[in-house]
A and B are shown apart, each in its own frame.
Chain A
Amino acid sequence: MPDQPEPALPELGDETLGRGRLLDDEDVAARRALRQARARRRALSLSLQLATILVLAVVWQLMANAGWVNPLFTSKPTAIVSAFYNGFADGSFWSPLSTTLFETLVGFGISVVLGVSFALVSYWIPLLHEATSGLVTAANNLPRLALAPLFVLWFGIGAESRIVLVVSLSFFVVLINTYAGLQNADRDHLLLARVLGAGRWKTFVAFILPAATATIFAGLRLALAFAFVGAVIGEIIMGGTGLGAQLVIFQDAYRTADVMALLAVMAIVATAMTALVGLLERRLLRWREYEFRSLG
């Protein structure tokens, strides 16, 4: 530590942003206050959301009890809650849930591996991108659910068909977003890479890939949602043993409370999966929080 240049450099105070100050590592108290304020706001917003759901449920219940709506078509909150509880208590929801999760996650996994690799290869070989981009756009615009009968013809009525349907939906999302992300690299950063003498691999890993991460994750989140939709709709169309197939069975038997309970399960599962990806995303992209905070 040199002792001479330190006093030669004037205090940083004047050029320190007020906002940067709050985040100063020494300023622990301010940071804690900030965190507490954020926690309070989150608690408030959560209780507001719960209250909204509660109010809607009470109105629904009262309307059903008064006979304004037919419970055979719409069921009612108390019946749905008990169907939800029973479904898990007697174990009848677990098996369809695990089937659907299996199809979703396997299909999603395949889509990520294939989508990311294909995006990388077409990034490195522009001719390949040139040759395939039209086809990719066309395939992505095709309503993939219309392919379900073909998939049954090719892969049978087992889980394979649903997985193929899931892949057909989410692969393109991963591919397109990953490829777009790889174009994000800043021109100044690429110039810096050249001037520093970074090789192709180092340039990719240290300059191009980090700049692509946010866009890639946006794709992953969307692809996971698509994968779940693909699995459920696939089961509704093709049958099988998952949540979608179970839904059809309940529907045909006019067990509306069970239908609603299954829909609630799907909503919870889909939200939880997206939240998990979001958690991973926030970990990897912590720097972006600061970017946005300094804007706002």
Chain B
Amino acid sequence: MLTGTIIYAIINSAILALTAIGFNLTFGISGVANFAYGAFYVMAAYGVWMLIHMAHLPYPLAVLISIGFTTLSGALMYRFVIVRIKGQTLSEVIATFGIGLSVLELFRYFGFVGFEYTLPVFHDKSFIIAGAYVDAQRLFILAFAVALIIALWLFTHYTHLGLAFRGIAQDERTALTFGMDPDRIASLAVSFGAGLAAIAATVIVPLGSISPEEGYDVLIKALAVCIIGGLGSSGGVIIASVVVGFAERFTDSYIGSHWTMIVSLAALLVVLVIKPSGIFGKQKELEERI
């Protein structure tokens, strides 16, 4: 039982990390808290579903198109809404929240609720690892999460755009003096975040079914993980995912599945009391504003 729990805990952490990375990236780079994040996640999943069932496209193609479409939506949201109100936190928060809300409830209104809204798993097989059943999809998620994190690391350290992202994330003003266009970078950051949400969706959703509720759940989880780990810090997100992932899984196995959300809430409150800026939070409070 213990090894099984540990394995599932690792996988749970991978899922959380995948979910939260996009939100963290957008915020770290452009300072935009994208409250429509959950909506992008769900939109991508429904997109794949619709492309498969209505346009009869093959699964991989549907996935690619949906991810692309979601990324584009992120850019459009930036271009038409955020850019007019960028810098005014009040408006940014309300606007992204309003958009996310409208999209999710629109899906709910049009009846996209029910068990038939599922995506097929990539490979229908199960393995036995250390005495526990683990299905291929979950293993894929784990491998994919690791691969994605490595890919992102390489991206932000070895490509021009990635280095630009890191630069702006560390010190916006200095980065701007190097001639980077803040709007373009922010737009890319929002699109990237949306795209990562889409990628996470296509990989994770096959485990269950899609529903608009997922959108809110994803947003909550991403926010919780990011706050615990420290907004803007990728290392923090990973550590927080592991902490919360393990806590949730062990609670589920040894105490009862009802308590998992309480554990997450408790973790959040504990972090807020001890170190509100998160585990690796770089909240410089006053210093950064002088």
Are A and B co-members of a single complex? no
Footprint of B on A, CB under 8 Å? none
**B residues touching A (Cβ–Cβ < 8 Å)?**
none
